[in-house]
Amino acid sequence: MKITDIITRNNIFLDFTSLSKKALFKNIAEKVNKQTDANQNEILDKLNHREKLGSTNLGDGIAIPHAKINGITKIFSLFIRSKNLIDFSTSDKKGVDLIFVIIAPEDSKTEHLLALSTISKFLRVEKNITKLRKLKTSDAIFNLFLKSSVS
């Protein structure tokens, strides 16, 4: 799986301005609902439930909130770069500005884990993280995803 298999050019959002994790998750639920048959309230509930199990903040300003949802048939992902740091309430006390969202079908097993693994491998390359913060357009970020050798 390549990162461009799960994140399309149209699902890259820059200069996001959510002031809290709650507002971020609400906005994510709205975006996913507009592009899929998934119920907005279920998306929000599942993202919040997953976060209560343990923070999806990886550190270094990066989070991968994810959930399994009824009503979708394939992995749906977003990349969000926030203008401000969003508090993910973790022990490192640092906010998050780079957010990869994964919404998987409820019955997904390996596909969900493969998507998490693909994004994690991409993020292991330090220059990718630096570029995600510096690139000016969603096209430039999508091209970074295309050029990455992660598969």
Comparing C-alpha atoms, which of 112, 96, 115, 93 is closest to residue 104? 112
Q: Tell how far CA 36 is from the center of its chain.
A: 16
Q: Is 112 a catalytic site residue?
A: no
Sign of CA dihedral 81, 85, 88, 93: positive
Which of these is catalytic: 21, 66, 81, 112? 66
CA distances 10 to 32, 63, 140, Å, are 12, 20, 12
Please list the alpha-helical segments (H only) found in 80-137: 110-123, 126-134
**Could you list the active site residues?**
66
